[in-house]
Structure 1
């Protein structure tokens, strides 16, 4: 288990925006890939990186929609990627590899939350497959373009507090609870960053995971208004009721910070929130704050890596 989960005093906070993270920073000549970079937090990430001079490749399940959403952002390319389909992941990676262009930042942002029970690929549970396995495969396939110096950012969530890896039933075959499945997938994102950083740091690649905060985005598409009222997110009229919710620009800030900040140059494998390294959940003063020990445990991370490699038959570090 990492013992480096201590805030740095970054100077930023919950209300900082993605643009704030890049104030005065010149990313000209840098190249980024942002999965789901045309919607919600991904769009704000794309916008901020491009405004600082980076070239951004947006990986989108629906490229036509992505082109419309990003049409006013300079320096953006669009390519098709369905993270729930390994053939699509391989196709995207092959096109990227054919360009021979180094990737400086890979922001694994896309995801789904609390969806109805669904099987994808060879029968994988959809949230584990889309949020984790698709990004696992993508990162490993893109490894030749990352090696030599890159940041890989896995967008996790405080939802990881809901569940560690359910080793007895990873694919939810014994029964499906949409929140446990989501929690497991977000723990997987954090553990992925832990082990990737361990494997890749000697090649100049560092990895981080993060909680972006609570933000109203299309991620809530599978939730009813009643469910969000019960959570305290909305009032009975459907109006926002939780003052801790962030704007999309604020929600994207932590992933932009993790992808670019020189404050993290000597670090890796850490879980971040509110534009800083997060505390351990055991030390937090409130629920769903900080990172659970099981989400940064090196043994759990290595076990998940091996399972993911076995399931996808992809591993850049054999």
Structure 2
């Protein structure tokens, strides 16, 4: 990818698309790709809710979207994805409203081992357990939108880093095995991919689908726990500081695939996919570079079903589902 290559943005994806009357919730919409997703959807006419942990930052984003897009300020709602009680409270506040689009965009990458109040490893909490719970609790709203000729889609933001991990349903929260912060990030994103597979299978009868997407390499606050040495070790940057693929995407370019997943007519009725660069990603195989495409283990139905059962049990054990 050279600096001269022009990549599609979320606005390019939405050109000619009218989302008037559609409702959308975007988590993690106080910075980075989440802001770009929310702004593009609002600019196309959608009624967007910014689901954020930092309300002050969310209100600032809302005002900026309103000024730049010439629309009413998007609603701002608090949700802390490190707390399943907060997720439940948000869903309860939404309960009586239809929902066309749920964009599970918020992420956490590479912190030291930290356990949440619910007993979940923090990366698993933000990248997997919270989207699992939120998507399940909002299913009636998504199904209601479908019944009313709405969209009824769920998007979960993943990463090519899912290739760093192998599924371990016996110890999802690193209570017994060694913790490597980037393997744990990859494991959480692998679980996110499998969530899309099983969620779509379970809810096919109401027409609600979930697809996993990678925005690609985007420089955002997501990387605040990543050192330069980490990035070199993972192959994200060269030792001289240059980028293997030429340049990082902008936030607007990173938002293109999540928005495409939300609105593309060709994805109607299709769930459990892994999307990359506004297309269904190929299965990774040599000589493809690591981090591109999708691992076949990310799409395995039996693994997706087992993971769902284990995760659902952990949520129930905590009295949260």
User: Match for 1:59 among 35, 43, 51?
Assistant: 51
> In the aligned structure 1, how far is the partner of 2:279 from the partner of 2:43?
22
- Counterpart in the other structure of 2:93: 95
TM-score, normalised with respect to structure 1: 0.89
Displacement after TM superposition at 1:178 (Å): 0.4
144-153 or 69-78, larger mean C-alpha shift:
69-78
**Aligned twin of 1:268:** 271
- For structure 1, list consecutive stretches of 5 or more residues without a partner in the other structure: 1-12
Does structure 2 retain, via aligned residues, the 8 Å contact 1:38–1:46? no
| Greater RCO (Cα-Cα under 8 Å, separation 6 or more) | 1
SS of the equivalent of 1:276 reads coil
CA distance in 2, matches of 1:241, 1:294: 26
Task: Describe the SS at the equivalent of 1:72.
Answer: helix
- Could you state the TM-score of these two structures normalised by the residue count of structure 2? 0.88
Aligned counterpart, 1:157:
159
Question: 1:64-143 alignment to 2 at 5 Å?
Answer: 64-73=56-65, 74-75=71-72, 76-97=74-95, 100-143=96-139
Provide the aligned length of Structure 1 versus Structure 2. 301
Q: Is the 8 A contact 1:232 1:242 kept in 2?
A: no
Offset at 1:15? 1.3
Q: Matched residues in 1 for 2:161 and 2:279: separation?
A: 18
Aligned pair 1:187/2:190, yes or no?
yes
Mapped to 1, the partners of 2:205 and 2:6 lie a distance apart of 32
Match of 2:40 among 24, 29, 48: 48
Rounded Cα–Cα distance in structure 1 between residues aligned with 2:233 and 2:158: 23
Distance, in Å, in 1 between the alignment partners of 2:240 and 2:291 is 26
Q: Which runs of 5+ in 2 are unaligned?
A: 66-70, 147-151
Q: What residue number does 2:169 align with?
A: 167
Alpha carbons 2:163, 2:295 under 8 Å: kept: yes
Does the Cα contact within 8 Å between 1:14 and 1:275 map onto a contact in 2? no
Q: Deviations over 1:213-251 (max 9, x none)?
A: 011000001112333355454567867675142111111
Instruction: Map residues 185-224 of structure 1 onto 2, 5 A cutoff.
Output: 185-224=188-227
Q: Tell me what 1:4 maps to.
A: none
Q: Distance in 2 between matches of 1:154 and 1:14?
A: 25
Once residues 158 and 175 of structure 1 are traced to their aligned partners in structure 2, the CA distance between those partners, rounded to angstroms, is 22
What residue in structure 2 maps to residue 255 of structure 1? 258
Q: Does 2:292 align with 1:289?
A: yes
Q: Residues of 2 paired with 1:46 and 1:237: CA distance?
A: 35
Aligned residue in 2 for 1:7 = none
- Contact map agreement 2:207 2:269 (CA 8 A) in 1: no
Deviations 1:71-106 (A, max 9, x none): 122341110101111111111111111xx2211000
Task: Tell me how far apart the structure 2 counterparts of residues 26 and 240 of structure 1 sit (CA, whole Å).
Answer: 37
CA contact (8 A) 1:284 1:290 kept: no
**1:3 paired residue number:** none
Whether contact under 8 Å (2:83, 2:118) holds in the other structure is: no
> How large is the Cα RMSD of the aligned pairs?
2.1
CA distance in 1, matches of 2:313, 2:20: 38
Q: Give how far 1:142 is off.
A: 1.1
Task: Tell me the residue number matched to 2:17.
Answer: 25
